[in-house]
Structure 1
Amino acid sequence: MKKTILRGAVVGAAASLALAGSPAFAISGTSADLSVLHAIPDTPVDVWVNGELTLDDFAPGDLAGPLDLPAGAYSIVITAPDATDISSPVIGPVDVTLAANTSYTAVAHLTEAGEPSATLFTNDLSTTAPGEGRLTVRHTAAAPAVDILAGGTAVVSGLVNPKEASLDLPVSTVSAAVALAGTTQPVIGPADVPITEGTNTIVYAWGSAEDGNLALAVQTISGLHSSPDGVNTGEAGLAATGGSSPLLALAALVGILAVGATGAALALRRAPSTGR
């Protein structure tokens, strides 16, 4: 899959696009970090920033970045593959302002009703206390609201698409469960969830249960036990689907987001394949 460095307004950013295991970028007083997650199933897309092709044939499940960008305003448009310009967007234009010394993740995803949408999340880089880590759950799937339970009590209530919830927890293995919003009967779990010191583990549930293509993406941001300036952005990629990886516990934690979804199947419009 071809990937193109940002051009136009972001020339000189010296950023590269990568998948899991990407190197860290130093956020500064004049720059911001931006990662991009393609969470719309089945169809590759093109991503344009400020009218310039940025990601060509960006595949579902791909997580690109982080890009180290000058702080400022950007216009993001998502088109079908082979579009020659942004005149027929699938999503957008979405106008965003990136603040200096801040980390973001832009997610193209389905709404609860199964329609294409985009959400810009601000990643929490605030310092965690010694001996603590952070768990963030982002609901970007076509699914109903859920509660996250600890010891049978809801610690996160009514999480809906496209919202997020974060918890700072002591380093440990936490027994957690998930129930439909307003209930206490676990539908998934209890599951053992590892909490890592100084790390924000961000879990995205995406896809469509109706189409049977629900998937899980995981992004980690480490170095939060020190100043977030120049934070190590850690690894970005997909959670394992088999084996004994501890991320399977996180998959169980958000797996309920697939239950009861009533969204219609996504039909991305394809632009004529005229080439470039």
Structure 2
Amino acid sequence: MAVSYLRRVAVGGAAAAVAFAGVGAFTATPAYAASSKVSVVHGIPDQPVDVYVNGEKTISDFKPGAVAGPLDLEEGSYDIALTKPGEPIAQAILKADDAQVPGGANISIAAHLDASGQPKITPFANDVSRLGAGEARLIVRHTAAAPAVDVRAGGEPVFEDLTNPNEAKADIKAGNVEADVVLAGTDTVAIGPESLTLAEGTATIVYAIGSAEAQSLTLVAQTIEGLHSAPGGVPSGTGGQAGTGLTTWWYALAAAGVLLLVGGGARLVAGRPAPVRR
């Protein structure tokens, strides 16, 4: 992929975080919509979970590295608990009552490690604005226990000095991309190279997950479709390892992310302008 194909780039992080009330620019649903498109990315290594909703187990052994969704998640409040597989709610590793789920957003909730290796949940507002003819959107999110990285395409840096839990994105010519992740400012490969197929009218979101110290770094991909310039329906999305059945366990995972938004000080991470590297 030639770097000259880049049309715009943005990098975002905690300093550019926005509240749920401000996600309208990244959604295709009207501000008055009563539900959100919610996808969940499990990026915590070696920690499957059982999920409880309102006191009932709704999914067992949700695996690390999986992507699920999206669900049209109705606005409302939920009691949720996440436990180690087989353990009761009394031993929950994360629990909340009356977790509030907003409406009118397109959100990905990533359960991952922070830069120091501690588990956390980060909600991202997905950019589902329309793409030009022949274009695709590439979004890279640093959600791994690793230092700052550069993302390269064809051996050339495209996104530089990306840190956890920030993202970088660009609208580029649709096609195949050979990409890798290196330690910032070096040629030391941390992940890849990987071949990505970026289809016209889609947003491909690539998450770096795992731990550098444990040598478990890898990539997880999520795809959002329907972003063509001509209206083609409300953008939703498909996860690379999503299941085909959508049941009430979704409410637990999405509400868990919202819990941390409301009670733990986390906020939606959105992009802020940065210069385009050419």
Provide the TM-score with structure 2 as the length reference.
0.63
Cα gap change, 1:142 to 1:37, in 2 (>3 Å): same
Does residue 44 of structure 1 match 2:55?
A: no
Deviation at 1:101, TM superposition (A): 3.4
What is the rounded CA distance, in whole Å, between the counterparts of 2:122 and 2:195 in structure 1?
A: 29
Does residue 106 of structure 1 match 2:109?
A: yes
Deviation at 1:95, TM superposition (A): 8.7
C-alpha deviations, 1:128-167, integer Å up to 9, x for none?
Answer: 1111100111111111111234577644222111221111
66-75 vs 37-46, greater mean Cα deviation = 66-75
Aligned to 1:270: none
What is the rounded CA distance, in whole Å, between the counterparts of 1:58 and 1:151 in structure 2?
A: 35
Does residue 143 of structure 1 match 2:146?
A: yes
C-alpha deviations, 1:55-94, integer Å up to 9, x for none?
Answer: 3221222222222111345566432223322x54434659
Aligned to 2:39: 35
Aligned to 2:74: 70
Identity of aligned residues (%): 46
What is the rounded CA distance, in whole Å, between the counterparts of 2:150 and 2:95 in structure 1?
A: 31
Aligned to 1:161: 164
Cα gap change, 1:171 to 1:124, in 2 (>3 Å): same
What is the rounded CA distance, in whole Å, between the counterparts of 2:53 and 2:214 in structure 1?
A: 30
Cα gap change, 1:211 to 1:189, in 2 (>3 Å): closer
What is the RMSD computed on CA atoms of the aligned residues?
A: 3.3
Deviation at 1:50, TM superposition (A): 6.2
Local SS of the residue matching 1:118:
strand
Note the residue ranges of structure 2 that are not aligned, 5 or more in a row.
1-27, 243-278
Cα gap change, 1:152 to 1:60, in 2 (>3 Å): closer
Local SS of the residue matching 2:143:
strand
Aligned to 1:267: none
Letter of the 2:82 partner, please give it. I
C-alpha deviations, 1:41-66, integer Å up to 9, x for none?
Answer: 22321234566544322122222222
Aligned to 1:237: 241
Residues 37 and 236 of structure 2 are in contact (CA less than 8 Å); yes or no, is this contact kept in structure 1? no
Does residue 219 of structure 1 match 2:222?
A: yes
Residues 150 and 159 of structure 2 are in contact (CA less than 8 Å); yes or no, is this contact kept in structure 1? yes
Residues 126 and 228 of structure 1 are in contact (CA less than 8 Å); yes or no, is this contact kept in structure 2? no
Cα gap change, 1:230 to 1:151, in 2 (>3 Å): closer
184-193 vs 114-123, greater mean Cα deviation = 184-193
Aligned to 1:117: 120
Cα gap change, 1:53 to 1:132, in 2 (>3 Å): same
**Superposed counterparts of 1:165-244, under 5 Å:** 165-174=168-177, 178-181=181-184, 183=185, 185=187, 187=189, 193-225=196-228, 226-227=230-231, 230-237=234-241
What is the rounded CA distance, in whole Å, between the counterparts of 1:55 and 1:83 in structure 2?
A: 13
Note the residue ranges of structure 1 that are not aligned, 5 or more in a row.
1-25, 239-276
What is the rounded CA distance, in whole Å, between the counterparts of 2:54 and 2:123 in structure 1?
A: 16
Deviation at 1:39, TM superposition (A): 1.4
Deviation at 1:175, TM superposition (A): 6.0
Residues 69 and 238 of structure 2 are in contact (CA less than 8 Å); yes or no, is this contact kept in structure 1? no
Could you say which structure has the greater relative contact order, defined with CA pairs below 8 angstroms and 6 or more residues apart?
2
Deviation at 1:107, TM superposition (A): 1.6
What is the rounded CA distance, in whole Å, between the counterparts of 2:154 and 2:37 in structure 1?
A: 36
What is the rounded CA distance, in whole Å, between the counterparts of 1:193 and 1:65 in structure 2?
A: 20
Letter of the 1:146 partner, please give it. V
Letter of the 1:65 partner, please give it. G
Provide the TM-score with structure 1 as the length reference.
0.63
72-81 vs 32-41, greater mean Cα deviation = 72-81
Deviation at 1:200, TM superposition (A): 0.5
Cα gap change, 1:200 to 1:116, in 2 (>3 Å): same
